[in-house]
């Protein structure tokens, strides 16, 4: 069964890091995500998720879905690390208990069990915003490179003009000197 993203928001090509220590629940999530056009990467705890994200140099992961209560490194700790190291990476928390929402600091929470449509409805706007931020960052880098290139060109032109000006000045001084010799 195919579950398209709500409100026409397409998640095809999205990569979601699923951080869940309950393998059965993780497998169900991954099957659903695959049917929805979302690629998923599995991590069994926050420590493994951090290792995966450290290797994600191209920043191919579009968002993280993490359980809050896990062994080794909890979802809470993972969220703290992500806020520090990848602040624009969208995170969705999930929990079978009711954690204090104030501690999530605006991170969306899905209460287990949740409907697949709830996940997509929560994920789609976060991914769209993240992609927009990345597009803007790429554009800013391209603009900066273009400005550096333009500045280098202007410096080169200025140096050529200075050299030509120096040549003209030398010619003028030589001309004046030859005029004085005639007088």
CB contact set of 106 (below 8 Å; sequence gap of 6+): none
CB-based contacts of 101, cutoff 8 Å, min separation 6: 109
pTM over 0.75: no
Does residue 183 register a pLDDT over 70? no
Residue 137 CA, chain-centre distance (Å), reads: 8
Judged against a pLDDT cut of 80, whether residue 166 lies above it is answered with: no
Mean pLDDT, residues 128-136 taken together: 78
Of 1-10, 50-59, 108-117, the one with minimum mean pLDDT is 1-10
The CB density around residue 61, as the number of other CB atoms within 10 Å, is 21
Instruction: Please determine, for residue 2, whether its predicted confidence score (pLDDT) is greater than 60.
Output: no
- Contact by Cβ (8 Å): 121, 6: yes
- What DSSP character marks residue 110? E
Residue 3: pLDDT above 60? no
pLDDT at 111 over 70: yes
Rg (CA), the chain: 29
Which distant-in-sequence residues (6+ apart) come within 8 Å of 108 by Cβ?
92, 93, 122, 126
**Domain boundaries, given as residue ranges, for the chain:** 6-137
How much is the average pLDDT of 56-62?
84
Domain 6-137 adopts which CATH fold?
Answer: Rossmann fold (3.40.50)
pLDDT tens digits, 60-108? 899 999 999 998 899 999 999 999 999 889 999 999 988 877 778 889 9
Please give the Cα distance from 72 to 49 (Å, whole number).
Answer: 11
Higher model confidence: residue 49 or residue 139? 49
- Number of C-beta neighbours around residue 97 at 10 A: 8
Mean pLDDT value across residues 125-137: 81
- Return the pLDDT at 140: 79
106-131 burial, b for 16+ CB within 10 Å, e for fewer? ebbebeeeeebebbbbbbbebbbebe
């Amino acid at each position: 069964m195919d579950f398209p993203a709500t409100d026409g928001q397409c998640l095809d090509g999205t990569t979601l890091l699923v951080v869940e220590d309950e393998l059965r629940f993780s497998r169900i999530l991954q099957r659903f995500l695959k049917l929805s056009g979302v690629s998923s990467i599995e991590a069994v705890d926050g420590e493994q998720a951090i290792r995966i994200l450290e290797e994600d140099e191209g920043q191919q992961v579009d968002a993280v879905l993490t359980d809050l209560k896990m062994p080794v490194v909890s979802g809470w700790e993972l969220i703290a690390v992500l806020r520090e190291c990848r602040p624009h990476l969208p995170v969705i928390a999930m929990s079978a208990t009711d954690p204090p929402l104030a501690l999530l600091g605006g991170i969306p929470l899905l209460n287990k069990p949740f409907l697949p449509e709830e996940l997509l409805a929560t994920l789609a706007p976060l991914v769209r915003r993240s992609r927009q931020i990345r597009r803007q960052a790429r554009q800013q880098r391209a603009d900066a490179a273009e400005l550096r290139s333009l500045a280098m060109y202007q410096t080169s032109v200025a140096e050529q003009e200075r050299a030509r000006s120096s040549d003209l000045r030398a010619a003028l001084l030589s001309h004046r000197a030859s005029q004085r010799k005639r007088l």
